[in-house]
Structure 1
Amino acid sequence: MDKLKYIVTVFCTAILALNGLVAQDNGQSDQAKQAEEFSEEPLDSSQYLNRRGVVLDGDTLFYLYDRIDGYTPTVRARLASQKIDELIHLHDFESDSLRIEVNEPYYQIFYKGEFVMNISLTDARWFGKSQEQTAREYLNTLTNKCRVVVSGLDIKRLLIQIGLALVVILLSGFIIRYVNRLFKFLALRIQRLKGTYLKGLTFRNYEFITEERLTSIVLLANNILRVLFLIFLFYLTLPIIFSIFPWTEGIANTLFAYILDPLKHFVTAIIRYIPNLFTIAIIVFVVRYITRGIKFLAREVEEGKLTLNNFYPDWAIPTARVINFLLYIFMLVLIWPYIPGSDSEIFKGVSVFLGLLISLGSSSAISNIIAGLVITYMRPYKIGDRVKIGENSGDVVEKNLLVTRVRTIKNEMITVPNSTVLNNSSINYSLSGKMEGLIIHSTVTIGYDVPWRKVHEMLIEAASCTPFIEKNPKPFVLQTSLDDFYVSYQVNAYTKEPAKQAMIYSDLHALIQDIFARNDVEIMSPHYRAEREGPSTIPPKNGE
């Protein structure tokens, strides 16, 4: 029994050893078996006749025999040759980056992820080796040839690059030379235009810029343009030269980016802003024509062509200005979100700062504006009226939301803030003159020795003879006081020419003196200490 177990054990061990040898032999000859399996099919002699070589730099590297996916060997070889030629002309080409990848049923050659060519089993059979060995042979041949060709191309490419750089430098020098000549010609031309087209800038009788200064400014601008153009040309030449050589191409891209990136951002921002620009244009267009319509209606009301109930014509222009101002504020509110950068924190901060400055620094201005609006609708006076504001009398020559300007009879221009006008009393002489007339008055004191009826007659006669005094209503006299030694007589007369008060008063006083002198009446306020026994102070008649 023990012998039987021993025999079985030896037999099993021998079988396992034999199977191991067979498996090892099979692992070593997988490629041979693959070729033997396919070699059972006979090769087509037409494939040999239609073979085409992959060519690089005039040399045939290897042949392709098989048709793959409809591509004939001719097309396959041509495409592979073109791709290889394209790759080796890259300035950063590295032959060691060629790799083999297996994509059943083909072995494929790639360069940095770019497909170069396929190697089929038929190509390998005609080559006489396995598909993997054939792919490696093709790759080695291609890599070695690329090294040789690229080494020659590097020298040739460098010479061409140096030549191109010299051409760029020569061309830049040529441009600089003729640009300098052009600007020199322009400078001479500017000198010749002195006294003809360059005559200086004058406004009325004031000369802003003399002829010599204007010529100097134009010449300076000519030189600045020349320098800027040369700087731009130099800056443009450098990246062009750097872009010729592969190892400085990054510097060229950086220099170009310094110019092109801001320009690209600027153009992109403009293009993106065009819809907002159209929106702003439409808003401005609508508001502009609305304000024009309001101004037209205001002029019609002011001229009396259009009447509105309980609306005075002199309210028209101020009301139109207020409405237009509110419309412009409303327009600004509408277009604010469409202004570039309006939503940025800096823009908001500046807006808040400006608003704070205006609110703190314009309290007086705002009070004057509000007072101006109140005065406008109170209508205490209008331009051309003779008024008295506080202690100042004169004609109103200007009235706006901030101030009122008055010209006195001495031709003095007084500016009165509207808040002052509103807080003080004002007299409108012209308004009184448009009704029954403005009453002008003057007071004389006469002693009790002169009958009051005679004094009344003389004063009324003087007032009636005064120019610009109305005959109807008639002048009248008031006795304003009875003092210890004299009586105060006030003569009153109507006039519709309040702007001529100074001349009217002067003429009235002159006539009072003449008429009283003619009637031997002294204009005086006697104070008695003793009876006077000399001649009176009445002036002699007719200047005697």
Structure 2
Amino acid sequence: MNNLLGSLFVIFYLLASSISSGQELKVENLDSSLTSNQNRTEQLMEFSDSIQRIDSLRAVALEEEIDRLQNSEIVRRQTLQAKIDSLNRRKAEQKIMVQHQVDSLRAVNLGVPLILNDDTLFYIYSKLGPFGPSQRAESIAHKLKMLGDRDDFDPDKLVVTTGAESDDISYEEIIILSVTDTDGFWINEARGKIIQTYREQIVESLAAYRDHFGVYNNMKRFGLLILVFIILFLGIKYMNRGFTALNIRLVERSSKYISGIKIKQIEVLTPEREKQVLRLVLKGIKWILIILIVYIALPTIFSIFPATENLANQLFGYIINPVKSIVLGFLGYIPEMITIAVIIVVAYYVTRFLKVVAREIENENIVVPGFYADWAKPTFNLVSIIIFAFSFIAIFPYLPGSDSPVFKGVSVFLGILISLGSTSAVSNIIAGLVITYMRPFKLGDRVKIGDTTGDVMSKNLLVTRVKTIKNEDISIPNSAILNGSTINYSSNADSLGLVLHSTVTIGYDVPWRKVHELLIDSATNTEYISKYPAPFVLQTSLDDFYVSYQINMYTKQAGFSSKIYSELHSRIQDSFANAGVEIMSPHYRAERDGNDMAIPKGFKPGADPNDIKPKN
């Protein structure tokens, strides 16, 4: 516990040192500003003094000439006197001009205060020799404190002496402060009056200072300091005991209520880990309260003694000022928040309206000529993105810190990072938009994309998902679809019908009309094949040993094409076998040398019909 208090005191001592450094920096900046203005004032005064010296010399010369003139030369004497009066008027006007210039500088700079015992006696505006205003104020304050700390101090020994360049206040041959003509210009008073006023203020302030730092008051302060330390020690001690008892009551005695934390079937925390977490939380709360109590006690301790009272105000300011800044910032940000809220509300309701319109178009309750129903949803998504993008652009200037160079730098960095890392994604998004409005297929269509054949299950801006007849889900990038070829089997199936076709090769010994009849009969009896238009046969080639016959038939069920082909081939085999016609494969040649015919056994001439039936 003692180590903790010692560490905290060291930390706050360093804080106090930083505060003092900041104050010194502020004083130096103020001193440099006042020194700059002082230089301007001295230049004005030097310019004015040079003119006044010239005018004074001319006035003396004119007065000497008047004295030499005889009484008979009255006109000449009057002329010279008029010139002297003119020089005096110009001298007075020059002084007024300099005073106006000093007044304008005084309105900008308030001067360096001379503070003794938290009481501002007066302000110093000008430098004296090599010493700036802040150095003069510091030196005078130091000398006054030395006088106030002397047991034999006698205010009657503070005397005022008048010199050619300045009026001084001294104590036993020690010059406490000096007032020059420059100080008089800044204060707009005669320096004799200023020095007397300063002496009265110093005497009153030293009397208050000696009373404030008397033995009786110092004893009270030390007693109060001891009392604060006792309260601080007891507060931390009993708080520590209270948290120990609370730990026992909540954790140890409440074990039956601690059963761990589970999310569905996943055990996030076991009962023992939950107890450890509760102990850590209580321990963290305890230390936060201890630090808060010590932080509040330290400014109280500093405020007991006048020498450290400013540190107390600074420590309280570390808490009060941020809270004040947050509150004032929040109140000042209310107009921007209202603007942001209006933009968000407008964007939200515009988006909802467009969503309703898009749903009605998708359900074909609203028909827009040239606009397909399946365009409604992607168009709504695209417009929504544009609306939200423009809303963000409109909101961005009202965000706190949007003008910060760090904020702008992070935004540029993220933009470059996204641009470099999303080249393929952007190409897929562009391809997805093009595909959406090209309409090469829609959901549920049977398509062939590259080497993949299946039904379109979903499509978005990045990929299109196809489900094959083997229940395989294949994701195809939109850029690959755009760059390749796509066959849509379903686009014309409902209107014109999809033409399915298959090829068989039959030898020249079979009449082609018979082959046509058998193929058409097989196709007609196949499920999902349309009766109208009727199936038809094309002879696609006359080869060396056989003729290639292509059976073509219409269907409106493109999704069942695999099943249709399978059934068709089965029926073709049965029809040709029943007719006694051999289906010749490519490069197959039958030589009749007594071998059996290349048809199923049950279909051979004179065969038993029971051989056709499958065996159980």
Q: TM-score, normalised by structure 2?
A: 0.61
Q: 1:215 to 1:174 in 2, by over 3 A?
A: closer
Equivalent position of 1:466 in the other structure? 526
Instruction: Kindly state the Cα deviation for residue 214 of structure 1 after the two structures are TM-superposed.
Output: 5.6
> What runs of 5+ residues in structure 2 fail to find an aligned partner?
1-145, 161-195, 603-609
8 Å CA contact 2:228, 2:297 repeated in 1: no
One-letter code aligned to 1:543: D
One-letter code aligned to 2:345: F
8 Å CA contact 1:190, 1:218 repeated in 2: no
Cα deviation, 1:71-93, whole Å, max 9, x if unaligned, reads: xxxxxxxxxxxxxxxxxxxxx99
Equivalent position of 1:332 in the other structure? 392
Equivalent position of 2:263 in the other structure? 201
Structure 2 counterpart of 1:277, from 337, 345, 352: 337
Is it true that 1:267 corresponds to 2:303 in the alignment? no
Instruction: Give matches, 1:424-443, under 5 Å.
Output: 424-443=484-503
Alpha-carbon distance in 1 for matches of 2:457, 2:213: 96
Partner secondary structure for residue 433 of structure 1: coil
Cα deviation, 1:327-362, whole Å, max 9, x if unaligned, reads: 011001101111111111111112222222233332
8 Å CA contact 1:469, 1:493 repeated in 2: yes
Instruction: Kindly state the Cα deviation for residue 533 of structure 1 after the two structures are TM-superposed.
Output: 2.7
Instruction: Kindly state the Cα deviation for residue 210 of structure 1 after the two structures are TM-superposed.
Output: 4.8
Instruction: Give matches, 1:39-54, under 5 Å.
Output: none
Alpha-carbon distance in 2 for matches of 1:532, 1:392: 47
Equivalent position of 1:388 in the other structure? 448
Cα deviation, 1:159-208, whole Å, max 9, x if unaligned, reads: 2342243234323433443244335433347644333xx54112xxx526
Is it true that 1:532 corresponds to 2:596 in the alignment? no
8 Å CA contact 2:148, 2:209 repeated in 1: no
Alpha-carbon distance in 2 for matches of 1:98, 1:176: 55
Alpha-carbon distance in 2 for matches of 1:309, 1:413: 35
Equivalent position of 2:231 in the other structure? 167
Q: 1:510 to 1:211 in 2, by over 3 A?
A: farther
Equivalent position of 1:403 in the other structure? 463
Cα deviation, 1:362-416, whole Å, max 9, x if unaligned, reads: 2222222121111111111111111111111111111111111111111111111
Structure 2 counterpart of 1:522, from 571, 575, 582: 582
Aligned-residue Cα RMSD (Å) equals 3.4
Structure 2 counterpart of 1:154, from 218, 231, 237: 218
Instruction: Kindly state the Cα deviation for residue 252 of structure 1 after the two structures are TM-superposed.
Output: 3.4
Alpha-carbon distance in 2 for matches of 1:317, 1:190: 56
One-letter code aligned to 1:535: D
Alpha-carbon distance in 1 for matches of 2:443, 2:208: 103
Instruction: Kindly state the Cα deviation for residue 145 of structure 1 after the two structures are TM-superposed.
Output: 12
Equivalent position of 1:511 in the other structure? 571
Alpha-carbon distance in 2 for matches of 1:145, 1:509: 119
One-letter code aligned to 1:233: I
Instruction: Kindly state the Cα deviation for residue 259 of structure 1 after the two structures are TM-superposed.
Output: 3.3
Is it true that 1:292 corresponds to 2:352 in the alignment? yes
Alpha-carbon distance in 2 for matches of 1:431, 1:148: 101
Q: TM-score, normalised by structure 1?
A: 0.69
Alpha-carbon distance in 2 for matches of 1:387, 1:190: 65
Partner secondary structure for residue 431 of structure 1: coil
Alpha-carbon distance in 1 for matches of 2:453, 2:212: 108
Cα deviation, 1:93-137, whole Å, max 9, x if unaligned, reads: 9586989999xxxxxxxxxxxxxxxxxxxxxxxxxxxxx9xx99x
Q: 1:354 to 1:252 in 2, by over 3 A?
A: same
Equivalent position of 1:543 in the other structure? 611
Alpha-carbon distance in 2 for matches of 1:148, 1:506: 112
Instruction: Kindly state the Cα deviation for residue 480 of structure 1 after the two structures are TM-superposed.
Output: 0.8
8 Å CA contact 1:164, 1:244 repeated in 2: no
One-letter code aligned to 1:169: F
Q: 1:143 to 1:468 in 2, by over 3 A?
A: closer
Instruction: Kindly state the Cα deviation for residue 147 of structure 1 after the two structures are TM-superposed.
Output: 5.1
Q: 1:346 to 1:143 in 2, by over 3 A?
A: closer
Partner secondary structure for residue 430 of structure 1: coil
Instruction: Kindly state the Cα deviation for residue 286 of structure 1 after the two structures are TM-superposed.
Output: 1.0
Instruction: Give matches, 1:7-46, under 5 Å.
Output: none
Greater Cα offset, 456-465 or 358-367 = 358-367
> What runs of 5+ residues in structure 1 fail to find an aligned partner?
1-91, 103-131
Instruction: Give matches, 1:317-396, under 5 Å.
Output: 317-396=377-456
Alpha-carbon distance in 2 for matches of 1:189, 1:285: 52
Alpha-carbon distance in 2 for matches of 1:469, 1:211: 65
Alpha-carbon distance in 2 for matches of 1:269, 1:291: 32
8 Å CA contact 2:224, 2:304 repeated in 1: no
Partner secondary structure for residue 343 of structure 1: coil
Q: 1:199 to 1:305 in 2, by over 3 A?
A: same
Greater Cα offset, 365-374 or 257-266 = 257-266
Give the number of the structure whose alpha-carbon radius of gyration is greater.
1
Partner secondary structure for residue 269 of structure 1: helix
Q: 1:337 to 1:143 in 2, by over 3 A?
A: closer
Alpha-carbon distance in 1 for matches of 2:267, 2:352: 35
Q: 1:158 to 1:221 in 2, by over 3 A?
A: closer
Q: 1:225 to 1:479 in 2, by over 3 A?
A: farther
Alpha-carbon distance in 1 for matches of 2:211, 2:387: 78
8 Å CA contact 1:445, 1:486 repeated in 2: yes
Partner secondary structure for residue 382 of structure 1: coil
8 Å CA contact 1:172, 1:237 repeated in 2: no
Equivalent position of 1:485 in the other structure? 545
Q: 1:309 to 1:98 in 2, by over 3 A?
A: farther
Equivalent position of 1:476 in the other structure? 536
Alpha-carbon distance in 2 for matches of 1:97, 1:407: 107
Equivalent position of 1:496 in the other structure? 556
Partner secondary structure for residue 406 of structure 1: strand
Instruction: Kindly state the Cα deviation for residue 498 of structure 1 after the two structures are TM-superposed.
Output: 0.9
Instruction: Kindly state the Cα deviation for residue 505 of structure 1 after the two structures are TM-superposed.
Output: 1.0
Q: 1:252 to 1:327 in 2, by over 3 A?
A: same
One-letter code aligned to 1:163: L
Partner secondary structure for residue 552 of structure 2: strand
Alpha-carbon distance in 2 for matches of 1:189, 1:281: 50
Alpha-carbon distance in 1 for matches of 2:154, 2:450: 100
Partner secondary structure for residue 458 of structure 2: strand
